[in-house]
Structure 1
Amino acid sequence: MTPHSQFSLLGTRRFLPFFLTQLLGAFNDNIFKQSLILAILYKLSSGADASLLVNLCALLFILPFFLFSALGGQFGEKFAKDSLIRTIKFAEILIMLAGAAGVLLNHLPLMLAVLFCMGTQSALFGPVKYSILPQHLREEELVGGNALVEMGTFLAILAGTIGAGIMMASSGYASLVAGTVVTVAVLGYLASRGIPRAHAALPELVLDWNILRQSWRIMRLGLVEQRPAVSRSLVGNSWFWFLGAVYLTQIPAYAKQWLYGDESVVTLILTVFSVGIALGSMLCERMSGHKVEIGLVPFGSIGLSLFGMLLWWHSGGFPQGAQAHDWLALLGHGQAWWILSSILGIGLFGGFYIVPLYALIQSRTAEHERARVIAANNILNALFMVVSAIVSILFLSVAELSIPQLFLAISLMNVAVNSYIFKLVPEFSMRFLIWLLGHSLYRVEHQGLDAIPEDGPAVLVCNHVSFVDALLVGGAVRRPVRFVMYYKIYNLPVLNFIFRTAGTVPIAGRNEDLLIYDAAFKKIAEYLRAGELVCIFPEGKLTGDGEINEFKGGIERIIAENPVPVIPMALQGLWGSFFSRDPRKRLFRRLWSRIKLVAGAPLDAAQADRQLLQARVAALRGEVR
């Protein structure tokens, strides 16, 4: 299937109604929350400390994620997700009616209660929101779908924040805010009516109403009982929200104290940050090749640290005027462009970091556990956001760091946290190296890869041109591939780390090392029985002249012992590259060289002997060595 742009999903019923529902919900949350904060600061005379009330608002919105995310995870497994979303969105109408009454009456306790109910609604909606995507989207659409959701969410947050500021500046702010939140809630419910059926993953689940016990169980399910790639992705996801919370919380004070700007400068910085995340999210699908590419996560992590350090470096010494700069005056200073570029870079690489993590969690979690695992992620996100506030207080008040120094500190912490995650799950680093290879030395084109089944066992048979053939094939195929490789190549320094992480099977000739030879076939059979893809280079060695060597008999033994579909493949254009054995190779002459991976129609194991497979691979390769 030819991959389409992620924006084509907006023309489908299986995505657009959900997207609009999520977009309107995020917009409405931020309209009400920001309006309440501005009302406390500028409109209401409660007699209470305004700073205390603003912090209380943050607490009331985040507390339900601790209390009710576990319940939301259970609801997401037990009930059909489409009907559950409609129920939650109908509840939003009732909540916003109460909120509208509180705004019109200037009744602060009622508005605070509504804010808590909004947080509760979001806590219940979160697990359903992310667990419904894999039910409605194909695997190759999952990254694009998540990218659109992340883009829409951050832009809705930005629009809600700015919209609240505009409405609260009006003399008739109460009626404007009240009418908007109710109208948007109704529109969100109407959009949810179009969401297609999404069956219950575990309808027999018995609900546990004990909040603490179920929260503990769900956290254990997400962090202990999942495979390491999933559990550490939850930690990485929450770490991103830690970073985001620090930046977003400090931006107003940073704009005032370090850029000498007014409220419009805060809006400008928030806009640049949100646009950066939206842009990074959108680029993820193209950069990942329409598949869940976790190699982008280390790339995003590097960018987050780099641009965080650049933001610290360019801060300080900003010229102070007679009055606060507005956003236009700010742009008149060259230093401001460096600062805004750093903030854009943080957002951009944040998008590269977060979208693949969400897609990995969704794609590698069992359907009957997905909503609860995402609920665990929401609880962890809330915990990390609270910790971010504590860390900021300690660094700014106790350690007496400046705000730019705080940005430097969390950038260095990002290096440490992600180094720990990548050490525990080397697959992230391995996929990054594969992604880097496919986007630096080579430009890889794919043809016919839809012949590879989306699930179930199969053997891939390919010609062997260079030392990086396995990396290029593994980077192109959407599913994990277990490679069979000559043990001396398997043991090459640096590359051995990648091969071991990928579960590569080292093999030797029968007369060379019988133990390695027999162990290889046992491991291959084990992988195929588990429904995995196995790739073999039947020539048994790299080509020395660019031509295809005679296929060895090992491939016939594999398919005789494991009668699974066999898919011929061919690499074109690698001969003469730095990693081939061409004596005339030159690194820079072949930099960014165009190569191609072509797959043919699957063959039945009964008809696939080595002569036929060699002929098919040769035909696929053609004259392009």
Structure 2
Amino acid sequence: MMPIDTPSTPAAEPSQFALLGQRRFAPFFWTQFLGAANDNLFKFALTVLVTYQLQLAWLPPSLAGLVIGALFILPFVLFSATAGQLADKLDKALLMRWVKSLEIGIMALAGWAFVQTDDQVRVVTLLACVFAMGLHSTLFGPVKFAYLPQHLSERELTGGNGMVEMGTFVAILLGNVAGGLLIGLPGTGPAAVAVACVALALLGRLSAHQVPATPATDPGLRINLNPLTETWRNLKLAHGHLVVFRSLLGISWMWFFGAVFLSQFPSFAKEVLHGDERVASLLLVVFSVGIGAGSLLCEVLSRRQVEIGLVPLGAIGMTVFAVDLYFASSGLAAPAAPWGVAAFLAQPAHWRVMLDLALMALSAGLYSVPMYALIQLRAPKSHRARIIAANNILNALFMIASSLLAGAMLSAGFSIAEVFLATGLANALVAGYIFLLVPEYLLRFVAFVLTHVVYRLRVSGVEHIPAEGPAVIAANHVSFVDALVLAAASPRPIRFLMDHRIFATPVLGALFRLAGAIPVAPQKEDPAVYQRAFEAASKVLADGDLLGIFPEGGITRDGRLQPFRGGIARIIERDPVPVVPVALLDLWGSSFSRIEGGRALARPLRRGLFSRIGVAVAAPMPARGLTPEGLQHQVQQLLDTHSLSRTSTP
């Protein structure tokens, strides 16, 4: 088993799919997969049973789905706080086994109820089992997301979360399909569902037995049984880490957004697309495949690090394709009889609808996976599960709010397509607000676009950047976007100390100010700005963060490394932290650098799109005995050793 909370080497990380062959991930993956499949097989089979096969005056078919969904969500509100405490206090592998043993008992009771002949007893017992399965999922939720950071390195978190997210939605899809097919078997449907539910529970328990030990992060914790005070306490704790807290809100908004669409698929298929129930199932398939594809795509696009620059990209896609879904579904002709799947697919206009759904779901995957990974990475280890439990409560409340608001809009006369349009536009406002509150998302997004469109970035030695604790990142200064390139290469956020004149640059200056870059001026030019800059730099290091500096003091005018100034010596004299030498490669002569003669930003895109650049990182140098000349020599060695082109191209 991989050591707890110890990063693996890059050579041991060939692919996120390779995790499925490793004991630290595979048993956990299949445990959560089987649990999600069982939840949805059971709930969907019960919904179909009540809707199509039973006649109960107190539970009409129109309310069956709402009641079942509410009973399943209610435990998340009531017991998530307690579940989070248990996940922090106990060994997570042991807790998984207890939860899976509970699932066997619940499914055995549900199996008995499915084959009863008294409809009243049958349905009341099954509804109680829905609540109990909600409790089972509530207990498992914090364990599920707190387990990963203890067994995966930072460079594996995005891929691991992507696999879990993909697996969950595939399990939901397969569970719904299997539940509908099994309950529909003539004469033997309920018995078949009973056998399937118990079998999945047993398989889940066997899988949980293989999950490796995962020590408690706070074994001395005293359980607070009051969910209100405990939830409030953990939200306050998360609020102390603003990026974490606002990421919790961002994830809850994603569940609000998704719940609007998922809850309306049957009505959307019937009333807007004029299809039968199989068309509604097709929409669910398309949406689930999109979520899975987006979740897996995160690792490919993020270069195996927690790339929160994908979050704005996902938010943009969610809005664009939700809005286009409104236009794609407007004015569709109604056939004489509802479309079957084959007839539905034969209509070209319907492919635009499915493409919008698929790309909207893919965007939601890009949006959510990095946020989950960021919370796992930045939340305090001792309270990680409790913060995730608080997030589960927020998710449940946001989903309830989405149902109420969507229902109010439909009751007020809005069409389903108009509800989708309003949700897409609201997403743009909410996302914009979050990104202004947390500029790190916006900075990483711009850095992501820059290094995937304007440039093609290759990074070597990134493992030398400390995973935690303060350090100075010292790099040569070649272009106006050096800070963005370094931000894209680093797995951790960097606060930059930058020449005050760059803040006067249109767009870039505003972006750097928003990202909290620290302006510095020569001491002779402005002693007050000079002094404030070094005080701010000291605070960054005191907070345990990374400080980025360009020791040359300005952008090179000839492409060569300039002498390093004494500012680096002053910084490490006051705060003796490790200094990480970094070389920016082949940016000279590119779109945002100077060219021969010293002119800045001349002939934009003169090297075209996808111009090759690189970042090379050396092992940290201790502060003691470090001189500007010694640091300059190390950066020059990196430039000589790692240059991609060996020559400059003006």
- 8 Å contact 1:40–1:54 — kept in the other structure? no
Q: Please give the TM-score of this superposition, normalised by the length of structure 2.
A: 0.92
Report Cα offsets for 1:433-471 as digits up to 9, x if no partner: 121211221111001121222122322221111011011
Match of 1:409 in 2: 422
Specify whether residues 54 and 516 from structure 1 end up closer, same or farther in structure 2 by C-alpha distance, changes over 3 A only: closer
The separation in 2 between residues aligned to 1:412 and 1:529, in whole angstroms, is 41
Question: How far off is 1:44 after superposition?
Answer: 2.1
**Counterparts in 2 of 1:560 and 1:551: CA distance versus 1, 3 Å:** same
The answer (yes or no) to whether the contact 1:76–1:371 under 8 Å persists in 2 is yes
Q: Structure 1 316/543 Cα, relative in aligned 2: closer, same or farther at 3 Å?
A: same
State the SS of the aligned residue for 1:293: coil
Partner of 1:16: 26
Matches within 5 A, 1:457-496: 457-496=470-509
- Sort the Cα spacing of 1:322 and 1:566 in 2 relative to 1 into closer, same or farther, 3 A: same
Matches within 5 A, 1:115-130: 115-130=130-145
1:590 and 2:608 matched: yes
- d(CA) in 1 for partners of 2:171, 2:231: 29
Do 2:275 and 2:338's aligned partners in 1 also have CA atoms closer than 8 Å? yes
Moved more, 519-528 or 34-43: 519-528
TM-superposed deviation, 1:501: 4.0
3-state SS of paired residue (1:305) = helix
Give the counterpart letter for 1:58 in structure 2: G
1:55 aligns with 2:42: no
1:84 aligned to which of 70, 87, 95: 95
Q: Which moved more, 1:542-551 or 1:144-153?
A: 542-551
Q: 2:203 aligns with which of 187, 196, 219?
A: 187
Q: Once the 2 structures are TM-superposed, how far is the Cα of residue 408 of structure 1 from its aligned partner?
A: 0.5
Q: Hey, what's the Cα distance between the residues in 2 that align with 1:539 and 1:613?
A: 11
Alpha-carbon distance between aligned partners in 2 of 1:217 and 1:513, rounded to the nearest angstrom:
45
Q: Which runs of 5+ in 1 are unaligned?
A: none
For 2:551 and 2:324, the matched residues in 1 are separated by 50
Normalising by the residue count of structure 1, what TM-score does the alignment of the two structures yield? 0.96
Residues 237-276 of structure 1 mapped to structure 2, 5 A cutoff: 237-276=251-290
Task: Look up the match of 2:624.
Answer: 606
Distance 1:203 1:164 in 2: 40
Deviates more, 1:108-117 or 1:545-554: 545-554
Tell whether the 8 Å contact from 1:300 to 1:351 is kept in structure 2 after alignment: yes
What one-letter code is carried by the residue in structure 1 that aligns with 2:151?
A: H
1:203-218 equivalences in 2 (<5 Å):
203-218=219-234
Q: Note if contact 2:104-2:202 (Cα within 8 Å) is conserved in structure 1.
A: yes
Equivalents in 2 of 1:567, 1:425: separation in Å? 26
**CA offsets, 1:259-296, max 9 Å, x none?**
22112211111111000010000111121221222221
Residues 460-485 of structure 1: CA distance to partner in whole angstroms, max 9, x if unpaired?
22111101101101111111222221
Aligned match for 1:197, one of 213, 216, 225: 213
Equivalents in 2 of 1:562, 1:228: separation in Å? Answer: 25
Aligned-residue offset at 1:537: 1.2
The total of aligned residue pairs comes to: 622
The 5 A counterparts of 1:461-610 are 461-582=474-595, 583=599, 585-610=603-628
CA contact (8 A) 2:592 2:604 kept: no
| 2:153 paired residue among 113, 138, 142 | 138
Q: Is it true that 1:334 corresponds to 2:345 in the alignment? A: no
Deviates more, 1:237-246 or 1:30-39: 237-246
Deviation readout 1:560-608 (Å, 9 max, x if unpaired): 3333322221111111112111156441533210101111233233343
Cα distance in 1 between the residues matched to 2:125 and 2:472: 64
State the distance in 2 between where 1:514 and 1:261 align: 72
Deviation of 1:370 (Å): 1.2
| Shift of residue 611, structure 1, vs aligned partner | 2.3
Deviation larger for 614-623 or 87-96: 614-623
d(CA) in 2 for partners of 1:604 and 1:36?
64
User: How many angstroms does 1:412 deviate by?
Assistant: 1.0
Q: Does the 8 Å contact 2:47/2:65 carry over to 1? A: yes
Amino acid at match of 1:370: R
Q: Check whether the contact 1:572–1:624 (CA below 8 A) recurs between aligned residues.
A: no
Moved more, 383-392 or 580-589: 580-589
SS of the equivalent of 1:578 reads coil
Matched-pair contact (CA < 8 Å) for 2:29–2:164: yes
Query: What amino acid maps onto 1:6 in structure 2?
Result: Q
- Asked if the contact 2:80–2:227 (Cα under 8 Å) also holds between the matched residues in 1, the reply is no
Aligned AA (1:591)? L
Provide, for residues 186-205 of structure 1, a one-character-per-residue CA deviation record: whole Å limited to 9, x for no partner: 11011111111111122222
Instruction: State the match for 2:172 in structure 1.
Output: 157
Matches within 5 A, 1:413-452: 413-452=426-465
Please state whether the residue corresponding to 2:483 is helix, strand or coil: helix
Paired residue for 1:31? 41
For the 8 Å contact 1:508–1:517, the answer to whether it is kept is yes
Does 2:630 align with 1:619? no
Deviation of the 1:614 alpha carbon: 1.9
Whole-Å separation in 2 of the counterparts to 1:412 and 1:15: 38
Match of 2:4 in 1: none
Contact 1:577 1:585 in 2 (8 A): no
Structure 1, 529-538 or 444-453: larger mean CA deviation: 529-538
Q: CA deviation at 1:355?
A: 0.7
Distance, in Å, in 2 between the alignment partners of 1:53 and 1:340 is 27
AA at the equivalent of 1:609:
T
Match status 1:228 vs 2:242: yes
Work out whether residues 576 and 586 of structure 1, in 8 Å CA contact, stay in contact via their aligned partners in 2: no
Contact 1:139 1:291 in 2 (8 A): yes
Q: Could you tell me how far apart the structure 2 residues matched to 1:342 and 1:371 are?
A: 35
Q: Is the 2:495–2:547 contact (alpha carbons within 8 Å) kept by the matching residues of 1?
A: yes
The partner residue of 2:328 within 311, 314, 321 is 314
Cα distance in 1 for residues equivalent to 2:149 and 2:619: 28
**SS of residue in 1 equivalent to 2:458:** strand
Q: How far, CA to CA, are the matches of 2:105 and 2:490 in structure 1?
A: 48
Cα distance in 1 between the residues matched to 2:284 and 2:389: 28
Corresponding residue to 2:128 among 113, 116, 140:
113
The whole-number CA distance in structure 2 between the counterparts of 1:624 and 1:363 is 40
Contact 2:470 2:543 in 1 (8 A): yes
For 2:3, the equivalent position in structure 1 comes to none
Deviation sequence 1:291-329 (CA, Å, 0-9, x none): 222221111111111000110001133233332211111
Alignment-derived partner of residue 75 in structure 1: 86
1:254: how far off?
1.0
- CA RMSD in angstroms, aligned pairs only: 1.7
Which secondary structure state, in structure 2, belongs to the residue aligned with residue 207 of structure 1? coil
Contact in 2 for aligned 1:315/1:404 (Cα 8 Å): yes
Q: Which amino acid aligns with 1:243?
A: F
Aligned residue for 2:479, secondary structure, equals: coil
Aligned ranges 1:338-377 → 2 under 5 Å: 338-377=352-391
Q: Percent identity?
A: 46
The Cα shift of 1:503 comes to 3.5
In 2 relative to 1, CA 316–561 (structure 1 residues): closer, same or farther, beyond 3 Å?
closer
